[in-house]
Amino acid sequence: MEHSQLVKISKRMSKALRHQPERLGITLDEAGWVPVAEFLAAMGIDRGTLDAVVHGNDKQRFAIATGDDGVERIRANQGHSVPVELGLAEAEPPELLFHGTGAAALASIQATGLNKGGRHHVHLSPDTDTARRVGARRGGAIVILTVLAGQMCRDGHTFYRSDNGVWLTDEVPPPYLRT
Q: What is the domain-level CATH number for residue 119?
A: 3.20.170.30
Do 125 and 172 share a domain, yes or no?
A: yes
Q: Are 18 and 82 in contact (CB under 8 A)?
A: yes
Do 110 and 153 share a domain, yes or no?
A: yes
pLDDT of residue 47: 96
Do 170 and 111 share a domain, yes or no?
A: yes
Do 52 and 107 share a domain, yes or no?
A: no
Mean pLDDT for the stretch of residues 45-67: 88
Do 72 and 102 share a domain, yes or no?
A: no
pLDDT, one tens digit per residue, over 59-113 is 678 989 998 899 999 999 877 778 787 778 899 999 999 999 999 999 999 999 9
- The Cα-based distances of 165 to 74, 125, 126, 153, 155 in angstroms read 18, 8, 7, 17, 23
Helix 47-56, helix 3-14: angle, nearest 10: 90
pLDDT, one tens digit per residue, over 112-153 is 999 988 777 899 999 999 899 888 876 789 999 999 999 999
Mean pLDDT for the stretch of residues 27-38: 93
Beta bridge partners of 66: 72
- The Cα-based distances of 141 to 102, 108, 131, 138, 165 in angstroms read 6, 15, 13, 9, 25
Domain range for residue 40? 3-76
One DSSP character per residue, 122-161 reads EEEBSSHHHHHHHHHTT-SSEEEEEE-HHHHHHTT--EEE
Do 120 and 55 share a domain, yes or no?
A: no
pTM beyond 0.85: the answer is no
Structural domain includes residue 22:
yes
Mean pLDDT for the stretch of residues 154-167: 91
pLDDT at 58 over 70: no
pLDDT band with cut points at 50, 70 and 90 for residue 56: confident
pLDDT of residue 178: 96
Q: What is the domain-level CATH number for residue 42?
A: 1.10.10.970
pLDDT of residue 139: 72
- Say how many domains are in the chain: 2
Do 72 and 136 share a domain, yes or no?
A: no
Do 103 and 60 share a domain, yes or no?
A: no
Element (H, E) at 12: helix 3-14
pLDDT of residue 140: 81
Structural domain includes residue 123:
yes
Do 106 and 164 share a domain, yes or no?
A: yes
Do 46 and 15 share a domain, yes or no?
A: yes
